[in-house]
């Protein structure tokens, strides 16, 4: 092993080797903080006490006219008295149980064809989130526009609602669809990650139906949306990794849209968690969005709805592809198979000195609308593993190597 005991100038560098790895980083970060503050964009932020950020995904509420709209696919014994209001009651139950930091409605929020007034249906569908003062985001599916509002009209209505973080579309660019936007989740207030987006959420409009005569079936995420996604991801990654405190890996990204990608067909029961009880109703062509996500490099998971009785997550090329399972009672389902919601819990890493840093892990589970609001299929979607420690060991290796080439072998620390 090499030593460091040489001239005065090198002594400081060698002494750094004695510091515990994490402390070393704390020192570097303390020096960096205060410089180059980015604009505060974060309405969303990780919690100080727990270092967590929790999302409840609500897929396919299919809300219509409330009390007068009957449930579909429930047991014969459950038919009487079952309406859209059961969907509302489930929202309250799951929000009370999970206390989320964000609710994401992933489309078919309303079932336009059975709604007398699309705006009123949407207001009623989302009401529990607003009532409970929860920040919420939404994308549209293929049924939201089948009533009194167009796709554009539905999205315009959503972005005008209370407490919403949804946006119509990015400004200044031509883009397909309505409701393509991203949200940044900042690190814990008062830490060195306080101004940084440590978790990125992307929302895309996956369309409704093909408008190309020679292609049948559902819509897809178009090239213009993928270009926007890639540019957004790359600029977020540059900010995260190049600005103080510099980071080695991009902040994790989570993507939300309605219609599954063809790649959701890549799994069998041997390599997913959850169930697959119907086919994958993706578009009949592959527009390449999965490849775009893999290439971007920051996406760890994508969350969809659309197929109500599929609720699995499977990992392909480093990305978890997840269904939520159907939430709404006026949506098709499977009698006796509980309506459900997916929960995502993102956990920050804590340094040895007690400071919250970047994301350490992403977990998920589902909540069933049964008697006990059962939690099932709890799993880790992504784990940074040793994160900070990996960084620090890399540093130690670097410093040791520097020392090796500059210092005489055999000196030791004592002089």
Contacts with ligand NAG, residue ranges (CB under 6 A): 74, 78, 81-82, 86, 89, 266-268, 270-271, 316
Q: Of 203, 53, 48, 49, nearest to 134 (Cα)? A: 53
Write down the least CB distance from residue 78 to ligand NAG, Å.
Answer: 4
In sign, the C-alpha dihedral spanning 146, 151, 153, 155 is positive
For residues 316 and 396, which CB has a smaller minimum distance to ligand NAG in the complex? 316
Nearest distance, CB of residue 105 and ligand NAG, angstroms: 20
Given a contact cutoff of 8 angstroms between Cβ atoms, the answer to whether 258 and 264 are in contact is no
Q: Other C-beta atoms within 10 Å of 79: how many?
A: 12
Long-range contacts of 155-163 (CB under 8 A, 24+ apart): 155/179, 155/205, 157/118, 157/119, 157/122, 158/122, 158/126, 161/122, 161/123, 161/126, 161/130, 162/130, 163/129, 163/130, 163/133, 163/134, 163/135, 163/136
Contact of 298 with 327, CB cutoff 8 Å: no
Nearest CB to ligand NAG, comparing residues 274 and 388: 274
Cβ closer to ligand NAG: 77 or 214? 77
Q: How far is the CB of 89 from ligand NAG (least distance, A)?
A: 6
Q: How far is the CB of 82 from ligand NAG (least distance, A)?
A: 4
- The nearer residue to ligand NAG, 219 or 314, going by C-beta atoms, is 314
Q: Considering beta carbons, is residue 222 or 315 the nearer one to ligand NAG?
A: 315
Q: How far is it, in rounded angstroms, from Cα 159 to Cα 169?
A: 10
Nearest by Cα to 243 from 41, 30, 38: 38
In degrees, rounded to 5, the angle at the alpha carbon of residue 410 between the alpha carbons of residues 405 and 415 is 105
Kindly tell me which of 95 and 136 has the beta carbon lying closer to ligand NAG.
Answer: 95
CA-closest candidate to residue 59, choices 325, 409, 378: 325
Shortest separation between residue 288's beta carbon and ligand NAG, angstroms: 18
User: Shortest Cβ distance from residue 77 to ligand NAG (Å)?
Assistant: 9
Question: Which tokens hold the place of 387?
Answer: 């994160």
Closest distance to ligand NAG from the beta carbon of 256 (Å): 21
Which is closer to ligand NAG, CB of 313 or CB of 324? 313
For residue 316, give every residue at least 6 positions away whose Cβ sits within 8 Å of its Cβ, in sequence order, or none: 263, 266, 267, 290
Nearest to 87 by CA among 102, 104, 70: 70
Question: C-beta of 168: minimal distance to ligand NAG in Å?
Answer: 35
Distances (CA, A) of 166 to 96, 169, 182, 250, 339: 22, 9, 9, 24, 25
Task: Between 86 and 192, name the residue whose CB sits nearer to ligand NAG.
Answer: 86
Q: How many helices (H) and strands (E) does the chain have?
A: 8, 14
Between 89 and 127, name the residue whose CB sits nearer to ligand NAG.
89
Output the smallest distance, CB 75 to ligand NAG, in A. Answer: 8
Q: Of 24 and 74, which has the nearer Cβ to ligand NAG?
A: 74
Query: How many Å apart are CA 52 and CA 33, to the nearest integer?
Result: 22
Cα–Cα distance between 237 and 243 in angstroms, integer? 10
Min separation Cβ 80 and ligand NAG, Å: 8
């Amino acid at each position: 092993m090499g030593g460091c005991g040489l001239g005065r100038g090198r002594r400081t560098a060698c002494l750094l080797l004695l510091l515990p790895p994490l402390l070393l980083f704390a020192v570097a970060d303390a020096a960096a903080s205060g410089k180059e503050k980015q604009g505060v964009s974060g309405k969303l932020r990780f919690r100080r006490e727990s270092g967590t950020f929790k999302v409840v995904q609500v897929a396919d509420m299919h809300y219509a006219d409330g009390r007068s709209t009957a449930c579909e696919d429930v047991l014969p014994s459950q038919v009487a008295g079952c309406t859209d209001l059961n969907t509302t009651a489930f929202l309250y139950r799951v929000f009370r149980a999970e206390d989320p930091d964000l609710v994401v409605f992933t489309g078919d929020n309303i079932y336009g064809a059975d709604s007398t007034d699309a705006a009123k249906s949407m207001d009623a569908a989302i009401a529990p989130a607003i009532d409970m003062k929860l920040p919420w985001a939404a994308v549209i599916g293929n049924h939201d526009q089948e009533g009194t509002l167009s796709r554009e009209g539905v999205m315009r209505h959503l972005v005008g609602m209370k407490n919403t973080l949804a946006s119509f579309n990015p400004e200044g660019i031509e883009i397909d669809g309505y409701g393509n936007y991203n949200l940044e989740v900042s690190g814990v207030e008062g830490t060195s990650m306080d101004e940084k987006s440590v978790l990125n959420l992307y929302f895309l409009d996956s369309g409704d139906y093909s408008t190309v005569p020679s292609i049948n079936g559902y819509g897809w995420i178009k090239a213009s949306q993928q270009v926007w996604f890639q540019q957004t991801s790359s600029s977020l990654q540059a900010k995260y990794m190049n600005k103080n405190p510099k980071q080695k890996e991009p902040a994790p990204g989570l993507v939300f849209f309605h219609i599954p990608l063809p790649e959701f067909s890549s799994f069998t029961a041997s390599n997913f968690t959850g169930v697959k009880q119907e086919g994958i109703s993706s578009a009949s062509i592959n527009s390449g969005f999965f490849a775009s996500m893999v290439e971007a490099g920051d996406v760890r998971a994508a969350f969809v709805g659309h197929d109500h009785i599929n609720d699995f997550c499977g990992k392909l090329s480093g990305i978890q592809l997840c269904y939520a399972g159907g939430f709404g009672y006026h949506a098709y389902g499977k009698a006796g198979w509980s309506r459900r919601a997916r929960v995502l819990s993102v956990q920050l890493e804590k340094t040895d000195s007690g400071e919250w840093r970047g994301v350490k892990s992403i977990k998920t589970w589902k909540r069933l609308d049964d008697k006990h609001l059962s939690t099932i299929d709890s799993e880790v979607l992504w784990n940074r593993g040793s994160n900070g420690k990996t960084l620090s060991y890399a540093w130690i290796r670097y410093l040791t190597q520097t020392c090796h080439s500059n210092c005489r072998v055999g000196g030791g620390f004592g002089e």
